[in-house]
Amino acid sequence: MTNRRAFIAGLAGLPFATGPLAAIAQGSVRALAMPPLLDATRDRHFRLTAQKGKTDFTGLGGGETWGFNQSFLGPTLRLPAGASTQAQIDNTLSEKISVHWHGMLIPGEVDGGPHQTIEPGTTWFPELDLTQPPATLWYHSHVHGDTGRQVQRGLAGVIHVDDGRDDARGLPISYGVDDLTLVLQDRRFDRQGRIDYGLSMPDQMMGFMGNVILVNGQLGTQAVVPRGIVRLRLLNGSNARIYPLSFSDRREMHLIATDSGYLNQPVAIESLVIAPGERYEVLVDFSGGEAGTLVSSANPNQMMGGMMGGASTAGGSFVVVPFGVDARLPARILEIPADLGGVLPDGEARSVNTRQITLDMPMGMGMMMRRSNDRFAINGQSFDMGRIDLSLSKGATEIWQVSSNMMMHPFHVHGVRFQVLAENGKKPSIQNSGWKDTVLVNGRVDILVSFEQTADRANPFMYHCHILEHEDGGMMAQFTVT
Ligand SMILES: [Cu+2]
């Protein structure tokens, strides 16, 4: 371990790049661990306790972290599709938190947004009645102004909505064997190995950028997979970093699901861009027995970093996680299934109300110097807990034309799934062809969205940028559905 400690200590100041992380993986390879699985499909009840802990990510000592039922991040919840589950969330921390069920189609009063905070020492009992198809969702804190810091400390976890029919679909279902959950997060650590969330001016502007990557809260690990088809459920749980992912040997990934569920059939792709808040599921063929490495190229938002003075120094590609094949592990699926049974959006824009949504960045240093939760805006207005921005009728369908300026923004809407009609006037990319709840806006994206879940004035739904520093800074708005 001495070498590894010294090595990591030597990383300080180096750009986030392939070399150092690859060397960590070679020097001291640990197997990647999955988050513990909390299966509520039988009991239809689960309990999460938000708690303090200590985590040593780097071998340098470490420091205080937060998690659910553990010291950092939370368990993977397996919840039944088409049934109701009773949740219990205990907050043992010394500040208020919330637990937003990102991607769940449930009413505003149980959505876990900024209006449903859980005070220290108290418990929240939301009933989660899931009428939606199977999907990989996630949960995270969503306290206005504190989301970035609380998620950075560890208040996040993954959800598998499961209808029990994946085996019949020919999909891998063995948790942690051929069905892997991968939470991608970047972090910075200080010399004691404590999470460093000090925000520089470029961080406040562009969103927080770490210089090392954690997968499921672990640094420098290797995933070990069977000699067969392996399913990767990818979550970008980072505050701001966008990952353009591919395998270093250019092997195909077979896209099977977007944020809100399955495609009708797998689509082979070589690369996949995953923005904060998004989930994608892919199948990867390891039946040839060859190891592979999932890599990311530079954050595309950093390419514009020159304007912020030096933010672009962290360019270049880097290792996300290497995969080794262990032929002793059971390989249950040996072929990519032909049909997934997902029902795709119909791609037709009906004649409905159209709205323009602009994601506004601060203009100039004067704006940047303002108080921190009112620098960013949507349609010219910073988020205000007391102001309802839109009032919609239950069952309404609308086209939202969402525009970004200066940089890319992942746009998330609570309580719905939507279809992408167009990206900059063109047919959406393959990765945006399925049901989504978060979409990366680079210019203009048109979405078609139906509002089926209710949200009253006391418990409105949010729509916001999922770069958490932008969200905390006011790039968020709220709507009712009645
Ligand atoms: Cu943004």
- What is the residue whose two structure tokens read 């792709």? 269
Element (H or E) spanning 21, and its range?
helix 18-27
Please give the pLDDT value at position 352: 85
Pair 294, 318: CB distance under 8 Å: no
Burial (0-12, 13-18, 19+ Cβ within 10 Å), 324? middle
* CA of residue 428 to ligand 1 center, whole Å: 20
- What is the residue whose two structure tokens read 């460093």? 196
| CA–CA separation, 287 and 335 (whole Å) | 9
Q: At CA 468, angle to CA 181 and CA 146, rounded to 5? A: 105
Burial (0-12, 13-18, 19+ Cβ within 10 Å), 385? exposed
| CA–CA separation, 69 and 51 (whole Å) | 7
Number of separate helices (H) and strands (E) present in the chain: 6, 32
* CA of residue 239 to ligand 1 center, whole Å: 10
Would you kindly state where each structural domain of the chain is located, as residue ranges? Answer: 37-162, 179-325, 353-481
* CA of residue 306 to ligand 1 center, whole Å: 18
* CA of residue 412 to ligand 1 center, whole Å: 10
* CA of residue 101 to ligand 1 center, whole Å: 20
| CA–CA separation, 480 and 93 (whole Å) | 30
* CA of residue 38 to ligand 1 center, whole Å: 32
- What is the residue whose two structure tokens read 């509002």? 451
* CA of residue 39 to ligand 1 center, whole Å: 34
Element (H or E) spanning 362, and its range?
none
* CA of residue 240 to ligand 1 center, whole Å: 8
pLDDT means per 10 residues, the chain with 482 residues, are: 36 35 53 98 97 96 97 98 98 98 98 98 98 98 98 98 97 98 97 94 91 96 97 98 96 98 97 98 97 95 48 67 96 94 78 92 68 84 97 95 94 98 96 97 96 98 98 97 98
Pair 420, 439: CB distance under 8 Å: yes
* CA of residue 410 to ligand 1 center, whole Å: 6
Please give the pLDDT value at position 347: 67
As given in the structure block, the two tokens for residue 147 are 């989301």
| CA–CA separation, 55 and 64 (whole Å) | 7
Pair 173, 166: CB distance under 8 Å: yes
Helix axes 18-27, 2-9, angle to 10 degrees: 170
* CA of residue 379 to ligand 1 center, whole Å: 13
Pair 327, 225: CB distance under 8 Å: no
* CA of residue 67 to ligand 1 center, whole Å: 25
Please give the pLDDT value at position 368: 64
| CA–CA separation, 189 and 166 (whole Å) | 39
Please give the pLDDT value at position 9: 34
As given in the structure block, the two tokens for residue 409 are 């923004």
| CA–CA separation, 107 and 129 (whole Å) | 9
Please give the pLDDT value at position 344: 83
CATH topology for 179-325 is Immunoglobulin-like (2.60.40)
| CA–CA separation, 282 and 287 (whole Å) | 15
Q: Would you give the DSSP letter of residue 208?
A: -
Please give the pLDDT value at position 8: 37
| CA–CA separation, 180 and 173 (whole Å) | 9
* CA of residue 467 to ligand 1 center, whole Å: 5
The CATH homologous superfamily to which domain 37-162 belongs is: Cupredoxins -  blue copper proteins (2.60.40.420)
* CA of residue 383 to ligand 1 center, whole Å: 13
* CA of residue 122 to ligand 1 center, whole Å: 32
Q: Would you give the DSSP letter of residue 203?
A: H
* CA of residue 363 to ligand 1 center, whole Å: 14
Against a cut of 0.85, is the pTM above it?
yes
CATH topology for 353-481 is Immunoglobulin-like (2.60.40)
Contacts of 69 (CB under 8 A, 6+ apart): 36, 38, 47, 48, 49, 51, 75
Residue 176 CB neighbour total at 10 angstroms = 16
